[in-house]
Amino acid sequence: MCCDDLEQALKDELIIIMDKFYLQDGRIMNAVESQYYIRRENRDSGYNYYGINFCPFCGMGISFVAQGFSS
C-alpha cells in the first residue's frame, strides 16, 4: 500500500479492492475505472460503490489506470 492510512481503510472495509464485473451486493455510482472503491452501506439495497483512482489520504495513484497500466 502507498500509506498506512489506506491500509487501515482497507482493513476497516471503508475502501475495498474488487473487480467490478463480480460486483453483486450493490452498484457503482460513478464511471471511474479502478479496482479500488469507497463503499457506502445503503439502507435499502446493499452498497453504493465509488471508484477512486487516487489514494484519498496521500494522493498516490493506486488504480491500474492511474499507474498507467491500462491499454
Binding site for Zn ion (CB under 5 A): 2-3, 6, 55, 57-58, 60
Task: Name which of 6 and 49 has its Cβ closer to Zn ion.
Answer: 6
Task: Name which of 52 and 55 has its Cβ closer to Zn ion.
Answer: 55
Residue 3 Cβ, how far from Zn ion at the closest point, in Å?
Answer: 3
Q: Where are the beta strands (DSSP E) in the chain?
A: 15-17, 26-28, 36-41, 47-51
Q: Using CB positions, name the residue nearest to Zn ion.
A: 55
Task: Name which of 26 and 56 has its Cβ closer to Zn ion.
Answer: 56
Query: Of 13, 58, 70, which Cα lies nearest the Cα of 36?
Result: 13
Cα–Cα distance, 69 to 71 (Å, whole number): 7
Residue 66 Cβ, how far from Zn ion at the closest point, in Å?
Answer: 12
Q: Which three cell numbers stand for residue 71?
A: 491499454
